[in-house]
């Protein structure tokens, strides 16, 4: 392994950093500098652990950014689905309202025609001209009832027109919001693919042995975090038993072990982190929000010492990752692209907090 290989790894990290910055919205693209040609120096200078640690840190950043963008994509997708359903319901109301309006107009027209046929004579004149005063009085009563009915008909007609106007305005608002969410989905998708492509490019620069060493560094980092978490004594305080729904959610998640991570996926063949947890709890009969950030916002919080199997652990300050606690200090989660649903230490990542779907 020559100095050129080490230089190539360092350059790869630099180039990937530049690419991800240039891909950010609002920043113009610049022509990339040519990749340096590896030196043919005979003196072997292996890629050091420090170099690989820099690669590991950059990969963590890239996949974290992809996870944040995935949450944004999932949130936009969830909102778009709700808005589409609302638009369909509004369309149904508009159709029914128009049918009702047409019927009311027909009835109003019939009432107007009936009134026209009476000639519009005053009641006194009709009484004098009538051959049967009693029949006139009976008819006058019916006319009074008809006038009241006509007033009610006009009021109902006005309300229906107002309802139709409101339904149309609501549908227009929903369409505008739907378009905004489509744009948000497209932007998030671009961000996700950019970050993942940059991570894959960086990893592709490594030789097989270096990838193995990188994997060991990742394992060591996770073990170090888990050990520190356990050494804090937190596990001795955790003794909660799973609820029936919690057991069902854990069983569902466990059955997905080994399935690949795929951003935006909710199963059954692949999952992202919140796709796994939301589907697990849906299968247990307790639907929860789709994204890790909304799970953190909307679900009841519990102390770490009080958590029980089935609870969800939210990670990182921005709530960009979620896993399911299964007991004995372990979690099941869908980690990131290129990985599969797996069991890991609950303390292997920075814990933001714990939420309980069936509190």
Which residues are part of the catalytic machinery?
A: 273, 321, 333
Check: CB of residue 38 under 8 Å from CB of residue 45: no
What angle, rounded to 10 degrees, do the helices at 133-204 and 3-22 form? 160
Starting at the edge strand that comes first in sequence, how are the strands of the sheet with 312-315 ordered?
301-302, 351-355, 312-315, 321-327, 330-333, 342-345
Q: Could you count the other beta carbons within 10 Å of the beta carbon of residue 57?
A: 13
Q: Could you count the other beta carbons within 10 Å of the beta carbon of residue 276?
A: 26
* Strand, coil or helix: 134: helix
* DSSP secondary structure letters along 171-228: HHHHHHHHHHHHHHHHHHHHHHHHHHHHHHHHHHTS-HHHHHHHHHHHHHHHHHHHHH
- Look at the alpha carbons of 15, 16, 17, 19 in this order and tell me if their dihedral is positive or negative: positive
């Amino acid at each position: 392994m020559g100095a050129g290989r080490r230089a190539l790894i360092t350059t790869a990290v630099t180039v990937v950093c530049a690419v991800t910055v240039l891909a950010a919205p609002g920043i113009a693209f610049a022509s990339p500098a040519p990749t340096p040609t590896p030196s043919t120096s005979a003196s072997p200078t292996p890629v050091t652990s420090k170099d690989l640690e820099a690669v590991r840190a950059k990969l963590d950043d890239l996949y974290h950014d992809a996870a944040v963008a995935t949450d944004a994509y999932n949130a936009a997708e969830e909102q778009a689905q709700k808005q589409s359903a609302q638009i369909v319901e509004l369309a149904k109301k508009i159709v029914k309202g128009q049918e009702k309006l047409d019927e009311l107009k027909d009835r109003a027209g019939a009432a107007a025609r009936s009134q026209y046929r009476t000639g519009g004579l005053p009641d006194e004149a009709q009484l004098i001209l009538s051959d049967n005063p009693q029949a006139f009085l009976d008819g006058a009563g019916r006319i009074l009832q008809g006038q009241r009915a006509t007033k009610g008909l006009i009021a109902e007609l006005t309300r229906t027109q107002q309802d139709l106007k409101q339904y149309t305005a609501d549908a227009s608002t929903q369409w505008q919001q739907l378009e905004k969410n489509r744009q948000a989905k497209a932007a998030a998708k671009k961000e996700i693919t950019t970050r993942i492509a940059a991570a894959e490019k960086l990893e592709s620069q490594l030789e097989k042995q270096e990838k193995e060493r990188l994997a060991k560094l990742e394992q060591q980092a996770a073990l170090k975090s888990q050990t520190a978490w356990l050494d804090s004594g937190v596990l001795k305080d955790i003794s909660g038993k799973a609820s029936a729904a919690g057991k069902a959610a854990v069983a569902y998640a466990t059955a997905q072990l080994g399935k690949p991570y795929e951003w935006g996926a909710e199963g059954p063949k692949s999952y992202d982190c919140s796709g796994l947890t939301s589907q697990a709890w849906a299968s247990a009969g307790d639907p929860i929000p789709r994204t890790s950030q909304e799970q953190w916002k909307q679900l009841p919080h519990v102390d770490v010492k009080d958590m029980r199997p089935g609870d969800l652990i939210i990670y990182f300050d921005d709530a960009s990752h979620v896993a399911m606690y299964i007991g004995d200090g372990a979690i099941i989660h869908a980690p990131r692209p290129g990985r599969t649903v797996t069991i890991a230490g609950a303390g292997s990542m920075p814990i933001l907090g714990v939420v309980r779907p069936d509190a």
